[in-house]
């Protein structure tokens, strides 16, 4: 029986030692190799004094080493924290500090970025993945694989132990860390493996970077099924024609990404001439798929099933919906029904259950649910809803408040109706608009701001910002973008900036975001 994440690899290494676990470009790692290399990394970490529960950062882009890092850290009993190497330096430093990270696992591609990170090493004591003349001790991958024991360190890990922390946009201007245990991560892998019938013959296209929760399918579910994950390179995600070549060449059978990755291929007409009949299941998540484009894609890949995957990173996944071939493209696509081992509530503003068919906030209780936000007790409490023990239910039940407004249609499928707060999805990424406002207001020349979503045919939602400058101040758009890039990831930087004399306000004196959104259509 397996109950921790590293046991996924140990099990598949016994069953299929010579099978490719992960592929990247022209390189690959088998389950046998991965089970040895993860032990070697774990042994080095332990020799450096890393203890159970310590946080270790994974600081690299899409690569084979991400898999070794993730499983090596877990097998040492430590907690892995995916960091985005393209994030602004201040954000990286915040995460290192927030999680008290002692060691970063990286690879040679990050040399330039790491140099600036290490200008202030904070709690860092070690770098693994590049050896260099740095203020902290460093070890190359070669020395790890040459010098470390291949034996399993056999750390006593419980399923309820913390396994990983994934950061997401926070409203206060700082990101928040979602804490998952081996149990919640593995529960997701087991449920998704069963639902999509992932088997050892599958070849799964993983388009997401490790710090984006969609990647758990490629990193946890595929190996649990002893199948092969093909890690799509950064370059392929930017060059559509190369991406379509990759799907064909790697004979992918399952694809999972945000809709944008697929609509880009579709719009450029890059799919018609390729043989992609190997695809049997296409999963998308992160944001809605424009129905018109989905219909076109389903026509081209008629042999494949298509499913909408929904679930905030706090619960991994919680609903599924397989799209009927003859769906009505004038309607938006449902989130679907909740999946196994999961319970839901739809509550109104007074936390009362809404009548059947009425709109309310979706709350989820599931095996795949997080433990809370790292070091944020108040925020965690706010995010959970506790249903006290009662005569009907002798145990207390804890639900996660998704903040998503839904209603159930006549077929009991959930429909997405909007957000309770100011969180949006842009290109699949989750962004808190208030965080952008906070970042803008940190500029000395900016008086007041209003940040709002802008509808876009291809990208779904983009971001607009209305800005009022202080008297006697001048600012160029470029200066503002440079300023924001110090605090925000690239996808959170507003594409459209508007300079106004005054920000419209509601009668209560709050920024009138709805009006700004309306006006922005006339301003462009």
Partner 1 sequence: MNEILIKYIQEHLLSSSDIELTSEDDLLGSGLVDSMGMVKLIAFIEQEFNLTVPPQDMVIENFMTISYIENYLEQRKQA
Contacts with partner 1, residue ranges (CB under 8 A) = 61, 85-86, 88, 109, 112, 233-242, 245, 268-270, 478, 482, 485, 490-491, 495
Q: What minimum distance in Å lies between the beta carbon of 497 and partner 1?
A: 15
Q: Are 189 and 221 in contact (CB under 8 A)?
A: yes
Q: What minimum distance in Å lies between the beta carbon of 243 and partner 1?
A: 9
Q: Are 62 and 214 in contact (CB under 8 A)?
A: no
Tell me which residue has tokens 């602004």. Answer: 88
| Minimum CB distance to partner 1 smaller for 348 or for 477 | 477
Q: What 8-state DSSP symbol labels residue 511?
A: B
| Minimum CB distance to partner 1 smaller for 242 or for 278 | 242
Non-local (6+) Cβ contacts of 386 within 8 A are 396, 397, 398, 399
| Minimum CB distance to partner 1 smaller for 151 or for 477 | 477
Give Cα 77 distance to the centre of its chain. Answer: 22
How many Cα atoms are found within 13 Å in the side-chain-facing hemisphere of 367? Answer: 16
- Cα–Cα distance, 103 to 254 (Å, whole number): 34
Q: What minimum distance in Å lies between the beta carbon of 245 and partner 1?
A: 7
DSSP 3-state of 163: strand
Helix (H) or strand (E) holding 105: strand 103-105
The β-bridge partners of 127 are 104, 138
Non-local (6+) Cβ contacts of 248 within 8 A are 274, 275, 276
Q: What minimum distance in Å lies between the beta carbon of 424 and partner 1?
A: 17
| Dihedral pair phi/psi, residue 400, rounded to 5° | -95, 130
Burial class for 201, CB neighbours closer than 10 Å (0-12, 13-18, 19+): exposed
- Cα–Cα distance, 521 to 524 (Å, whole number): 6
Q: What minimum distance in Å lies between the beta carbon of 259 and partner 1?
A: 14
- Cα–Cα distance, 430 to 341 (Å, whole number): 25
| Minimum CB distance to partner 1 smaller for 61 or for 312 | 61
| Minimum CB distance to partner 1 smaller for 234 or for 329 | 234
Non-local (6+) Cβ contacts of 311 within 8 A are 285, 317, 318, 319, 364, 368
Q: What minimum distance in Å lies between the beta carbon of 22 and partner 1?
A: 17
| Minimum CB distance to partner 1 smaller for 267 or for 473 | 267
| Minimum CB distance to partner 1 smaller for 86 or for 447 | 86
| Minimum CB distance to partner 1 smaller for 241 or for 353 | 241
Q: What minimum distance in Å lies between the beta carbon of 212 and partner 1?
A: 14
126-129 and 137-140 strand pairing:
parallel
Helix (H) or strand (E) holding 435: helix 433-441
Q: What minimum distance in Å lies between the beta carbon of 149 and partner 1?
A: 33
| Minimum CB distance to partner 1 smaller for 51 or for 267 | 267
| Minimum CB distance to partner 1 smaller for 198 or for 497 | 497
- Cα–Cα distance, 332 to 81 (Å, whole number): 35
| Minimum CB distance to partner 1 smaller for 106 or for 307 | 106
Question: Residue 496 has which token pair?
Answer: 């459209």
Give Cα 194 distance to the centre of its chain. Answer: 21
Q: What minimum distance in Å lies between the beta carbon of 456 and partner 1?
A: 11
Sheet holding 162-168, edge to edge: 137-140, 126-129, 103-105, 55-59, 79-83, 162-168, 176-181, 372-373
| Minimum CB distance to partner 1 smaller for 491 or for 499 | 491
203-206 and 254-257 strand pairing:
parallel
Non-local (6+) Cβ contacts of 292 within 8 A are 329
Q: What minimum distance in Å lies between the beta carbon of 77 and partner 1?
A: 31
| Minimum CB distance to partner 1 smaller for 409 or for 458 | 458
Q: What minimum distance in Å lies between the beta carbon of 113 and partner 1?
A: 8
CA nearest neighbour of 307 among 272, 270, 333, 274: 333
Q: Are 184 and 31 in contact (CB under 8 A)?
A: no
Q: What minimum distance in Å lies between the beta carbon of 491 and partner 1?
A: 8
DSSP 3-state of 310: strand
């Amino acid at each position: 029986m397996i109950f921790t994440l590293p046991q996924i690899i140990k099990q598949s290494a016994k069953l299929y030692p010579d099978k490719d676990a992960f592929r990247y470009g022209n390189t690959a790692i088998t389950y046998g190799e991965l089970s040895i290399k993860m032990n070697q990394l774990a042994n080095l970490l332990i020799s450096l004094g890393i203890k159970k529960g310590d946080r270790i950062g994974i600081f690299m882009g899409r690569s084979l080493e991400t898999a070794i890092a993730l499983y090596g850290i877990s097998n040492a009993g430590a907690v892995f924290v995916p960091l985005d190497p393209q994030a602004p330096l201040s954000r990286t430093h915040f995460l290192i500090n927030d999680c008290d990270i002692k060691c970063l696992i990286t690879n040679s591609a990050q040399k330039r970025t790491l140099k600036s990170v290490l200008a202030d090493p904070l709690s860092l004591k070690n770098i693994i993945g590049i050896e260099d003349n740095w203020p902290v001790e460093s070890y190359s991958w070669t020395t790890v694989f040459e010098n470390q024991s291949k034996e399993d360190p056999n750390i006593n890990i419980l399923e309820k132990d913390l396994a990983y922390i994934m950061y997401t946009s926070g409203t206060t201007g700082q990101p928040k860390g979602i804490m998952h245990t081996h149990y919640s991560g593995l529960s997701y892998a087991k449920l998704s493996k069963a639902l999509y019938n992932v088997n050892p013959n599958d070849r799964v296209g993983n388009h997401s970077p490790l710090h984006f929760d969609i990647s758990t399918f490629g990193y946890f579910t595929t190996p649990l099924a002893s199948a092969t994950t093909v890690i799509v390179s950064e370059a392929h995600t930017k060059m559509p024609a190369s991406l379509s070549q990759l799907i064909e060449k790697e004979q992918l059978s399952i694809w999972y990404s945000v809709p944008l990755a697929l609509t880009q291929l579709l719009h450029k007409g890059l799919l018609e001439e390729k043989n992609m009949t190997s695809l049997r299941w296409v999963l998308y998540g992160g944001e809605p798929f424009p129905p018109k484009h989905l219909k076109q894609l389903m026509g081209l890949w008629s042999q494949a099933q298509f499913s909408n995957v929904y679930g905030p990173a706090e619960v991994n996944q919680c609903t599924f919906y397989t799209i009927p071939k003859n769906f009505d493209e004038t309607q938006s696509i449902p989130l679907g029904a909740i999946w196994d081992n999961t319970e839901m509530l739809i509550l109104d503003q007074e936390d009362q259950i809404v009548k059947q068919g009425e709109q309310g906030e979706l709350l989820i209780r599931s095996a795949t649910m997080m433990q809370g936000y790292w070091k944020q007790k108040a925020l965690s409490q706010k995010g959970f809803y506790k249903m006290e023990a009662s005569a009907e239910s002798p145990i207390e039940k804890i639900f996660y408040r998704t903040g998503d407004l839904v209603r159930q249609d006549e077929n009991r499928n959930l429909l997405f109706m909007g957000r309770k707060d100011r969180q949006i999805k842009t290109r699949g990424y989750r962004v808190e608009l208030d965080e952008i406002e906070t970042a803008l207001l940190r500029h000395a020349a900016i008086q007041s701001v209003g940040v709002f979503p802008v509808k876009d045919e291809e990208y779904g939602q983009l971001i607009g910002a209305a800005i009022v400058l202080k008297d006697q101040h001048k600012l160029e758009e470029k200066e503002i973008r440079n300023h924001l890039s110090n605090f925000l990831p690239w996808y959170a930087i507003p594409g459209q900036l508007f300079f106004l004399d005054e920000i419209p306000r509601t009668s209560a004196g709050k920024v009138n975001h709805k009006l700004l959104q309306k006006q922005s259509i006339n301003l462009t």
